[in-house]
Amino acid sequence: MREFWAFRFQHRESEGKTLLQGGRLFNQLAVDCYAAIEQQRLNYIKAHQPEMRADLYQGLEDAVVAGDTDASAVGRRIVLPSSFTGADQDKPVTPEDIDEFICAEIPNKNVDPLAYETVVRSMVHGPCGPHNRNAPCMVDGKCSKHYPKKFSNQTTIDEDGFVSYWRRNKPSNTVTINRVEIDNRWIVPYNRDLLVLFNAHINVEKCASPKSTKYMYKYTYKGIDFATIVIENNVDNPQNNGE
């Protein structure tokens, strides 16, 4: 099903564009197709649980071993594999998981020169604060993005799920920008592979609340900008009428 709709949603010069010109109706169709594809995948997983050895996680025996005394959680469970997008196993949970995808440090110039050049050029915040009080991020004399960050020898996750990234104090690995010495406290979190691939500013962070996801989708699907333009005759100068 996914392959069919992916084929139909493609833009082709030799074919009509009835679907793509549907506006909000096309958006609704895309959402409905996604829901149908997701349900198809879930149905497949449900029907092939024995092949995934899900029997190891089902039944009363598991509840007894785990010390689970809540009867509402006992019964036949459908186990999602780690390859299923959105499953718990698919999400970064521990600080070590986050470190595999996100970095907030200046790369070693000798080990990874390509990433180093891209980070220095595109992923340095500011500098702001006392170094530049007129920076766009400054509000009431403080950086609205809370830079510079604090040094940290390891990535941590607080009780609310917000992440403080690994930013080690390494005086030997700094760079000077606008006569200001930049260390890891000024680096915007990024994914190394995406950064090198697109050679541009790409901020990558772990979502800590639904607000981040809502903002991302709202920004992506808000539509293009429109402007209403009206051309009228110049009534003050009859010679220009009709122009």
Could you tell me the residue ranges of all domains in the chain?
2-90, 95-220
Other Cβ atoms within 10 Å of 228 Cβ, number: 4
Burial category of 120 from C-beta neighbours within 10 Å (exposed 0-12, middle 13-18, buried 19 and up): middle
pLDDT tier at 231, thresholds 50, 70, 90: confident
Q: Are 180 and 129 in contact (CB under 8 A)?
A: no
- Threshold 0.75, pTM exceeds: no
Mean pLDDT for all residues in the chain = 84
Instruction: Give the residue-averaged pLDDT of 162-174.
Output: 92
Q: Are 150 and 184 in contact (CB under 8 A)?
A: no
Distance, in Å, from the CA atom of 118 to the CA atom of 127, rounded to the nearest integer, reads 17
pLDDT tier at 243, thresholds 50, 70, 90: very low
pLDDT tens digits for 53-85?
655 555 555 666 666 556 555 556 777 877 787
Q: Which residue has the higher pLDDT, 189 or 92?
A: 189
Instruction: Give the residue-averaged pLDDT of 131-139.
Output: 93
Q: So what's the pLDDT on residue 53?
A: 64
Q: So what's the pLDDT on residue 68?
A: 58
